[in-house]
Amino acid sequence: MKTAVVTGASSGFGAAIARQLVAQGHTVIGLARRQDKLQALADELGERFVPVSVDLTDRTAVDRALGDILRRFPVIDVLVNNAGLALGVAPAQQAQLADWDTTVATNISALLHMTHALLPGMVQRNQGHIINLGSTAGAYAYAGGNVYGASKAFVHHFSKNLRADLAGTAVRVSTVAPGLCSGTDFSKVRLGSDEKAAALYQNVQALTPDDVAGTIAWIMNAPAHMNVNYIEIMPVAQSFAGLSVHRSA
Ligand code: 8X3
């Protein structure tokens, strides 16, 4: 059985990942800001879920939390860098700079911080797995995707570069890139209201957090010699729009 650190564990993908891994007998150390939600999950999942309330964009707090975690759990087998967000769908020329900063701090800097802290131990033990949450938005550009999509493209390429640096070790790195998924706060945060998020999912069978969590569990439980580099999953209901053409009047 493995010990996994999962960021963004209080809801959505993170909570679904925690539920599936704990059900399989693994131990999950779940990081998130919202103490009440983490505690509710801890009450549900029992002692194999260890809640750690921390703001992932606060470096000092993350370092302190990681120090505590590594004292209690010196061997971390898996890091699931799940925490991430999109703020708005405004075109770049109308976007708020603060939203871009928050997106970069969460989707890129926090992922780097966690990876930088836990990767050396994995290499030293010659055993470990980093699983990064990408997105179809990191593979395909769309209007309003600007910094969110770019941050996920960063995640995709950073994962590949990690694989390059880790050649010759047994440490695995995977990216999971989901498309449209319901049952999380993601669209509420991205679109700014419950109503807009509800409209997006109307009459659409989107992916569920369990679909994503099941994919991650499969990747993590794959034989040690097998590395899933990148996997992209969409609901059947979602597809490609093609390239847009602007015609002058
Ligand atoms: C977001 C995927 O399809 O909602 O990560 O744009 S989608």
What are the tokens at 208?
A: 């569920």
**Model pLDDT, residue 217:** 98
Q: Is residue 242 predicted with pLDDT exceeding 90? A: no
Q: Which ligand 1 atom sits closest to the C-alpha of 142?
A: 6
Structure tokens at 40: 């509710």
Ligand 1 centroid to Cα of residue 7, in Å, is 19
Closest ligand 1 atom to residue 138 Cα is 5
Structure tokens at 76: 């971390």
Q: How far is the CA of 136 from the centre of ligand 1 (A)?
A: 6
Ligand 1 contacts (CB < 6 A) are 135-137, 179-180
What does DSSP assign to residue 94? G
Domains of the chain: 3-233 (3.40.50.720)
What pLDDT, on the 0 to 100 scale, is given for residue 199? 92
135, 148, 185: residue to mutate for ligand 1 pocket, most atoms within 8 A of CB:
135
Q: Is 201 a catalytic residue?
A: no
Please write the tens of the pLDDT for every residue from 3-50. Answer: 999 999 999 999 999 999 999 999 999 999 999 999 999 999 999 999
Task: Name the residue type at position 59.
Answer: R
pLDDT, tens digit, 9 for 90 and up, residues 85-118: 999 999 999 999 999 999 999 999 999 999 999 9
Neighbours of 205 (CB within 10 A): 12
Query: What's the CA gap between 135 and 119, in Å, rounded?
Result: 22
